[in-house]
Amino acid sequence: VLGAVFVNLGEWQLDRLAQRKERNTTTIGNEQKPVQPYAAVFTHLITDADQWQRVEARGTFDADHQFIVRYRSNGDADGYEVVTPLRTATGTVLVDRGFIPLEHGARIPSVAPAPPTGEVTLVGHVRRSEKGRRAATTPVGNQMRLINSDAIAATLPYPIASGYIGLL
């Protein structure tokens, strides 16, 4: 019985390795492509195959509709991320403006730092919406645990593109 279990676990690990290699090939291929205009990439539901492409977008941040993504970590640092809609000439896309570390024991603020004012041009990676339980993706006030464009779109007065841009 143990032999059969170990053989099945070995096959499972080999399958996971094949999936990881495929994902890495896609990621490297997308990162090596030239920077694309945002409007050329965000035309459909963003999937794993779209991730890590670099895109450029120009528009203005909507500071009135910012979101704080709680309980994030970056290496050994704990903190939060700030997501802000970017209004462009061709539509609106969410932009993860980055990670903000917190000192041990510090509280996550209720208000996100203000974005730059006026028109901005930015470059970032295409990211698909994060998946999880509704309680993690649905914003409560201006905070949530996962970045999900469908859940965030329900709280905004205008439509937004699928997925988001991770600012470089």
Cβ burial, residue 82 (10 Å; 0-12/13-18/19+): buried
pTM for this structure?
Answer: 0.85
pLDDT tens string 111-152? 999 999 999 999 999 999 999 999 999 999 899 999 999 999
Tokens 């970056």 label which residue? 74
Greatest Cα pair distance in the chain: 66
Phi-psi region at 143: left, alpha or beta (left = phi > 0; alpha = psi -120 to 50): beta
Contact (Cβ atoms closer than 8 angstroms) between residue 24 and residue 3: no
Q: Give pLDDT, residue 2.
A: 87
Instruction: Give me the mean pLDDT over the 77-103 stretch.
Output: 96
What does the block give as tokens for 126? 């295409």
**Predicted local confidence at residue 8, as pLDDT:** 86
How many residues are listed for the chain in this entry?
Answer: 168
- % residues pLDDT > 90 (the chain): 75
Question: Is the pLDDT assigned to residue 24 strictly greater than 80?
Answer: no
